[in-house]
Amino acid sequence: MRAQSKDKVPSTGNRQPATGNLHFSTGTPHSFNPTSEIITIGDEILIGQTIDTNSAWIGEKLSLMGIPVLRIISISDHPDEIRSALRDSMSRSRVVLVTGGLGPTNDDRTKATLAEFFNSRLVVDPDVIGDIEKLWGRRNIPISKVNRDQALVPHNCTVIRNPNGTAPGMWFESAGTIVIAMPGVPFEMKGIMDGGVLPKLAAFFNAPPVLHKTIMTTGIGESAMAAIIEKWESALPENFSLAYLPSPGMVKLRITGRGEDTGIVREKLETLTDQLSTLIPEWVYGYEDQSIEEVVAELLTQRGLTVCTAESCTGGLIASRITQLPGSSAYYKGSIVAYSNEVKQTQLEVSASQLQRFGAVSSEVVGEMASHARRLLKTDYSVAVSGIAGPDGGTPEKPVGTVWIAVSGPGGTVSERFFMGEHRGRNILKASQSALNMLRLRVLKDATDREKIF
């Protein structure tokens, strides 16, 4: 893997180790060199029942705004642990975000511990009680004492409203260090962060703008990509950097720019994004964390086109990815998942002779699957996949990982062979990714060709 050398998290250097007393890193209050730490509270994380996804989400948001995360810490909800982790983090970083331990069914030791830690007493917040009454009114259920207690907050914190629940966010300031506590439910935490915490942090630190553009690519690996764009990358202007963010079947490229003048940074960022996209046009499928099925959805909706799928080795995953999106019924009609050769024949009308002569994993069969599905389900386009996902079924001529994909459309049917890898789950995922990308490229090409004709 390529190192994200330009995205490194800075160390605080030779600071003092944590002690029992509160003390703070050097740097005057409100100067902009803060680091942050995330503390997640909950036994369910320590015993491995729950995977902590909140920290990754928060880590990305903070990094992107220029407040790098120094540590992520998970602890139980025991008051000793909470106090000890808070002291540790506050001794190293100017911003400490705490999630978890604030739900209505929790023991709520977290809130009591925070109140005590910040020498505070719990008082009823009228805004929060109003929010709770509104939420409960909508549901037509009487408000329980447990829920009413959610409106109790430490008197010396700033309340940050929770648009998606009853437990509010709480913002504490102590000698230039900020501690923010939020509930652990991801949906609620994200609402509090986006609506309150992030803008408030930017204002507090009067942060110089850090802007980002993300280019989504598929069909090329990280090293091959790096070789192509090496020269461009090394000529990046000062204050601009590039990060490679790979995951199965795709590589995200993130360009980051810093500077005092937002307008200038934004303009430069647009230019750089255009330049980079032009260097690798065949692999760029979208921008800003779009999934490939979202891009396909946009393309088809804009043009009023419909699509169907015919799946063998992907076993319904392409259909499932498409239909996870709300509104997909506007362009997606359905799939014939033909896992057995018999179903390929009876439901997709693949000819027995083709199956016998070329095998199910072949250009001929996948081509018939695509063109017949398109005819049977009466759509503008169709995409079909047949391959050997593994672990069994490979032969010397067609090893595990061999996948044929065909796209059928108004201009005919085209098929292509791919070699994925050795792992079943990844092969299925990568095949679905490649199939959606082939569909995308074909719809785009047909649209361009049509423009050329008229």
Binding part of the chain for its own copies, among 136-144, 164-172, 281-289, 332-340 by CB under 8 A, reads: 332-340
CB neighbour burial string for 116-141, b if at least 16 within 10 angstroms, e if fewer: ebbebeeeebeebbebbeebbeeeee
Nearer CB in complex with its own copies: 391/411: 391
Between 7 and 270, whose beta carbon lies closer to its own copies?
7
Report the distance separating Cα 160 and Cα 154, nearest Å. 12
Residue from 25, 76, 113, 166 touching its own copies (CB under 8 A): that is 76
For its own copies, how many residues bind (rule: CB under 8 A)?
Answer: 96
Question: Using CA atoms, how far apart are residues 332 and 313, in angstroms rounded to an integer?
Answer: 20
51 binds its own copies (CB under 8 A): yes
**Rounded to the nearest whole angstrom, what is the least distance from the CB of residue 78 to its own copies in the complex?**
4
Rounded least distance, CB 107 to its own copies, Å: 7
Give the tokens for residue 386: 């047949």
User: By rule CB under 8 A, what string of x and - marks binding of each residue 361-390 to its own copies?
Assistant: ---------------xxx-----------x
Interface with its own copies, residue 263, by CB under 8 A: no
CB 434 within 8 A of CB 402: no
Instruction: Please give the structure tokens belonging to residue 123.
Output: 């008082």
Q: Where are the beta strands (DSSP E) in 2-132?
A: 36-41, 69-75, 95-99, 122-124
* Spatial contact of 374 and 308, defined as CB atoms under 8 Å apart: yes
Examine residue 144 and tell whether it contacts its own copies (CB under 8 A): no
Q: How far apart are CA 412 and CA 232, in angstroms?
A: 38
Q: How far apart are CA 95 and CA 188, in angstroms?
A: 20
Q: Residue 162 — left, alpha, or beta (φ > 0 → left; ψ -120 to 50 → alpha)?
A: beta
- The dihedrals phi and psi of 278, each to the nearest 5 degrees, come to -70, -30
400 binds its own copies per the rule CB under 8 A: no
Instruction: Describe the strand order of the beta sheet including 402-409 as a list of residue ranges.
Output: 307-311, 381-387, 402-409, 412-419
Smallest distance from the beta carbon of 83 to its own copies, in angstroms?
10
Judged by CB, which is closer to its own copies: 125, or 374? 374
Minimum distance from CB of 451 to its own copies (Å)?
Answer: 29
- Rule CB under 8 A: is residue 75 a binding residue for its own copies? yes
Q: Site for its own copies (CB under 8 A): which residue of 41, 65, 67, 69? A: 69
286 vs 390, which CB is nearer to its own copies? 390
- 270-309: which residues touch its own copies (CB under 8 A)? 308-309
Instruction: Give the position of tokens 């990844």.
Output: 426
Residue 391 in the binding site for its own copies (CB under 8 A): yes
Binding of its own copies by 258 (CB under 8 A) = no
Q: Which of residues 95-114 bind its own copies (CB under 8 A)?
A: 103, 105-107
Q: Strand pairing of 412-419 and 69-75? A: unpaired
333 contacts its own copies (rule: CB under 8 A): yes
Q: Which is nearer to its own copies, 25 or 328 (CB)?
A: 328
Q: Where do the DSSP E strands lie in 58-102?
A: 69-75, 95-99
User: Which two three-digit tokens encode residue 200?
Assistant: 């408030």
Binder of its own copies out of 27, 81, 279, 426 (CB under 8 A): 81
Minimum distance from residue 425 beta carbon to its own copies (Å): 7
216-245: contacts with its own copies (CB under 8 A): 245
Q: What number of residues does the chain have?
A: 454
Among 189, 272, 318, 403, binds its own copies (CB under 8 A): 318
66 binds its own copies (CB under 8 A): no
Closest approach of Cβ 229 to its own copies, in Å?
A: 19
- CA 182 to CA 168: how far, in whole Å? 7
